[in-house]
Amino acid sequence: MSKKSKVEEMDEATQDAQTVENPELNEEHIEAENASDEKEEISVEDQLREDLAKEKDKFLRLFAEFENFKRRTSKERMELFKTAGQEVMVSLLPVLDDFERALKELSKSEDKEMFKGVELISNKFKETLKAKGLEQIEVGEGDTFDAEVHEAITQIPAPNKKLKGKIIDVVEKGFKLGDRIIRHPKVVVGN
């Protein structure tokens, strides 16, 4: 134990004497200390609750952002799967057109076996592309021209008033892959 200085001993003796002489001061002093301790506990508790609320809010926002991110990437992935073969499909469309022209010319020929062989290959090719999601955009003569879907190559005077603003001829067929148009049909419009 360390030795107390005379000054410290006198201070303790003075406090003890005051406590003995005036017990009301002692109780007030104790109550004041208890009240300040309670205030500190309440303010610490309030601070902890406020911090918890902030962290909870931060967590909820972060969770919502993550859910949006998952949804967005999932949607992008699905679109990518739907249109993954778009470049390949676009590059195969001229081959499909060539099959159409070949069948047209072979139908004029007398060699029916050659026509049947090319027709079988053409049909198989079309079915394979269709299975991969390629669809032909159906356009017929007399249909209303729609700038969103059709590509007008030229306008010619309409043979009659009914064909004014309508499609007169289809020069090149259009195709879509899923919901996306990958080649607009090229048409001639009546003026």
The amino acid present at 30, given as its one-letter code, is: I
By three-state DSSP, how is residue 110 classified? Answer: coil
> Which comes out higher in pLDDT, residue 168 or 14?
168
What's residue 63's pLDDT? 95
> Phi/psi class of residue 171: alpha, beta or left (left: φ > 0; alpha: ψ in -120 to 50)?
alpha
Q: Answer whether residue 24 shows pLDDT above 70.
A: no
- pLDDT grade for 1, boundaries at 50, 70 and 90: very low
What's residue 51's pLDDT? 93
- Give the start-end residues of each E strand in the chain: 134-137, 151-156, 167-172, 174-177, 180-183, 186-190
Please list, residue by residue across 78-112, b when 16 or more beta carbons sit within 10 angstroms of its beta carbon and e when fewer do. Answer: eeeeebebbeebeebbeebeebeebeeebeeeeee
What's residue 102's pLDDT? 92
Question: Tokens 């007030």 appear where?
Answer: 28
CB 115 within 8 A of CB 105: no
pLDDT digits (tens, 9 = 90+) for 30-51: 666 666 666 667 788 889 999 9
